[in-house]
Structure 1
Amino acid sequence: MKALPLFVVILLVASPVLAAANPGGIAGQATAIDGTTTAQVQPPTNETIRVLDIEESSLVRSTVETEYVDLGPSLDFAALRAGGQIQTRASINRIESVGDDVSLRSQLILGELNRVEQRAIALQSDQQSAITQYNADELTARELLVEFARIDAEARDLDERRIALRELAAETPDFSIDSGRLAALERELDTFTGPVRAHTAEVLTGKADPTRFSVRTSQSGVVLSTVADDTYVREAYRGDLRDRDESGVSPTEALETVSENYPEVWESRATQNGADVVGAGNSYLVRINHDRGQLYAYVDSGSKNVFKESQTRPLDTLSRGVPESEIKDGINLTVYRTYPGGPLRIQLNESATGDPINANVTIGVEASRESTLLGRTGLDGAIWTVSPSSPYTITVIRGNAAVVLTVSPTPIPELATNSTGSTNTTTDVQPTASPTTASTA
């Protein structure tokens, strides 16, 4: 299978939303592009994993478009990164320069921490402003992605500074910073980072190939998704599902919220220890490794809703969606329909023999009347992308032969409780049966 283009695997280092999936259960074999045989997870049953998304009634704008390397943002990201490192180093030097003066050292640490917290508040305003401007057609989708990538990069730099301040505080006699405060700041900075935003920066700086991104927005929410390096990656943020009340949820309740909203994920945890929860302040992060990928779900303490998620799912673990086919001029074109922004597989085969066809595929959204070249299907006759939010047309031309198929996306597999406030699935979550890690670090 050929995916549109490379995705940089992001390891869990400082910000937990950046982990890449590592599913187990390898079985079967597949033929790679170069003809070699490789191990592959067998396709699962056609059961769709639920996702945090935007209801159609709240959707303001949606698009799918390809982004390329761009020198302007690339230079901006480099300057931002360098500036953040300089600022962090200057803060550390300023604190360390006071020597054994514990009182002054403590004041400087707290002052720097206050500045990081204030900047986190400013990033929240920046994010909402970007969504508002995009919805008002004052920003293009490309400009919105650039701004999200910038916010992502700054949030990561701020988290590095948070970690440095935590370490300086630990080295200071008779002084400490409340661990809950540090963890709450980490959770807040998580709000502005995500694997799709990070990959956007990789594309814009030329570290990854051009990639198609799906962008969907509401008044205060955004859903981003892409297919890269044989992985489907998505992230979603719903500001309307937050009330920032810090007193409403325990770690066990956060786990229950996630198990109820993602029953398929919960039931397919890689191990009984395949879920943990980290929380402080006004939200909890629940991390689950399962047999079809990885889920990071954020639960708001006040509303008790999942308000943010990121999912990474290798393509060979995905169900292929709802197929629709068209046969013409000896070409069998099959489109495995999926939900808006979901992973979309397009397959070409010889109608007579079933052999895969390596040919160019274009996609056009009905409303725009424009077509975009997706690329060639490869030796397996397949190509992956992300689904538009409205009806779209797939076109394949091979010599004098052509086949055209117009289809619509399928309904969004919405979370079980966020939209209705009542659960569709009841799951008994017992800490003794499903051990978790609850912490404030």
Structure 2
Amino acid sequence: MAVLLAGLLVLSLPATAVSAAGPDERTAGADAPEQVFVETNGTTNRLDPGEEVRSERLEYGDDLGTSLMTADDELRVDYEQERIVRDGFDDASNEEREEMVSAGYGRLRERIDALEAREREAVRAHATNDRSTTRLLQTFSRNYHESDVIASALDELVAYADRIPGYSISIRNDKSVLEMYRTDVRSQLETTPDRFGSNRKRLAVRTAETGYSVSLLDRNYVRETTRFDGRNASRPNQFEDITDAHDTAQELYPWVFDADHETHSSDAVESRGVQLYRIRAIHDQGRLTAYLDGGTSAVHRELQTLDHEQFPTVNESRWIDGGLVLAINETAANGPAEVTVADAETGDPVSAAVSVDGEPVGETGSDGSLWILPPDDGFDLRAESDAGAVEGSVSNSAA
């Protein structure tokens, strides 16, 4: 593991759409995936999960939180390690102990491999309407918990290995893989929402044959995207070194690395044994973590935590009726949109109930504003207060 580059970058260039397609000298003749990043200006590029997307919007409340409670994998992992390693370890010879630790490690490696296979199957089933959104989120939640359980079991296994003279195991690469499942999105799914408060979380889920994205809107806009075709650990490493991987990330996320941010830093960590390169960057709107795969030289998993209130507006619509003014400010890459309601005569903010395609999505606050996760396609927007109601239709715009 090596840490690279933490400093201020001051170059400023406009952000553009980036594609990781096209072989270069290192990938000539290889089947490198074509990855499209949604074009943005004044904010970060965002990895697209793929074509033929199924899109769902839902609210995280008590019912969904209860549904995400899944079977506890801790007991299963603990039982396996008890049976394979702990049982009889004290009385075993050093050679027998090595075999026990090796077998226990092998079983944990199998469980690590099963995490991605489980997610890949769940995502593809969801994309073809063979699995509900709640069941898909259950899979993500289960992997979130099991990855932590496996990591603890690996630490315990190292302690057993240290008791064997001249024998050791390295779990550094395994920990790097497990880290990808401990994301901000999955962590926030585990928190209990306020039943009646304004902090109930809104979720957007998009799935395709090649990957998925899960977005969550709370105090921040948190987005997790994975491209399964961006991971191929069996291929030769396409990166010459960690600097090469960092340079590739700069090309894929030009605004993050090239804009003149007041605050900016970045670092890169290499896990060469599993051909993963974690690139992290902090910028004015939040932070980016991208896991680049050495076999494909593409982004396998992208994690972004962003302050959506700093996003530039790319499209604005406005309607007046019933003594109210309803407006929506859309942001790039179909990100969060701000809905505002005001008095048509005075311009004062109005508290109003907002619905999208007839479904309630929340109420504007004392400032007359509400942030929503808009549908991918056009939709009907309505706001209703004690004074009246106003509605309009939002087209499938460039946002």
TM class, shorter-length = 0.7 to 0.9
CA distance in 1, matches of 2:317, 2:391: 12
What's 2:26 paired with?
Answer: none
Partner of 1:188: helix, strand, or coil?
helix
What's 1:223 paired with?
Answer: 213
What's 2:360 paired with?
Answer: 373
Partner of 2:134: helix, strand, or coil?
helix
Partner of 2:154: helix, strand, or coil?
helix
Residues 339, 409 of structure 1: 8 Å contact kept: no
Does 2:394 correspond to 1:402?
Answer: no
Which of 370, 389, 408 is the matching residue for 2:376? 389
Does 2:322 correspond to 1:322?
Answer: no
Partner of 2:243: helix, strand, or coil?
helix
The 3 A distance-change label for structure 1 pair 110 and 72 is same
CA distance in 1, matches of 2:293, 2:367: 44
Letter in 2 for 1:183: R
What's 1:129 paired with?
Answer: 121
Does 2:258 correspond to 1:267?
Answer: yes
Give the share of equivalent positions with the same residue, in percent.
27
Which of 188, 197, 221 is the matching residue for 2:177? 188
The 3 A distance-change label for structure 1 pair 344 and 273 is closer
CA distance in 1, matches of 2:256, 2:77: 38
Partner of 1:112: helix, strand, or coil?
helix
What's 1:32 paired with?
Answer: none
Listed one character per residue, the Cα deviations across residues 66-122 of structure 1 (whole Å, up to 9, x for unaligned) are 233248956843x41652674488479717942784433333222221111111222
The 3 A distance-change label for structure 1 pair 88 and 257 is farther
Letter in 1 for 2:250: S
Listed one character per residue, the Cα deviations across residues 173-212 of structure 1 (whole Å, up to 9, x for unaligned) are 322224xxx3332333344443223323435999x96432
Residues 74, 205 of structure 1: 8 Å contact kept: no
CA distance in 1, matches of 2:98, 2:193: 40
Residues 77, 150 of structure 2: 8 Å contact kept: no
The 3 A distance-change label for structure 1 pair 170 and 349 is farther
Does 2:154 correspond to 1:162?
Answer: yes
Listed one character per residue, the Cα deviations across residues 204-232 of structure 1 (whole Å, up to 9, x for unaligned) are 999x964321111110300110101x110
Q: Map of 1:253-332 to 2, 5 A cutoff?
A: 253-267=244-258, 273-280=265-272, 281-332=274-325
Question: Considering only aligned residues, what root-mean-square deviation do their CA atoms show, in Å?
Answer: 3.2
Q: Map of 1:51-70 to 2, 5 A cutoff?
A: 51-55=46-50, 58-70=51-63
Does 2:98 correspond to 1:106?
Answer: yes
**Matched residue count:** 354
Q: Structure with the greater relative contact order (CA < 8 A, sep ≥ 6): 1 or 2?
A: 1
CA distance in 1, matches of 2:193, 2:236: 37
What's 1:343 paired with?
Answer: 336
Which moves more between the two structures, 340-349 or 107-116? Answer: 340-349
Letter in 2 for 1:154: E
Deviation at 1:409? 5.1
What's 2:44 paired with?
Answer: 49
Listed one character per residue, the Cα deviations across residues 335-381 of structure 1 (whole Å, up to 9, x for unaligned) are 111356522221222233332211111111xxxxxx22112111111
What's 1:333 paired with?
Answer: 326
The 3 A distance-change label for structure 1 pair 286 and 403 is same
What's 2:132 paired with?
Answer: 140
What's 1:251 paired with?
Answer: 242
CA distance in 2, matches of 1:291, 1:95: 53
Deviation at 1:276? 2.7
Residues 341, 387 of structure 1: 8 Å contact kept: yes
Residues 55, 207 of structure 2: 8 Å contact kept: yes
Residues 149, 197 of structure 1: 8 Å contact kept: yes
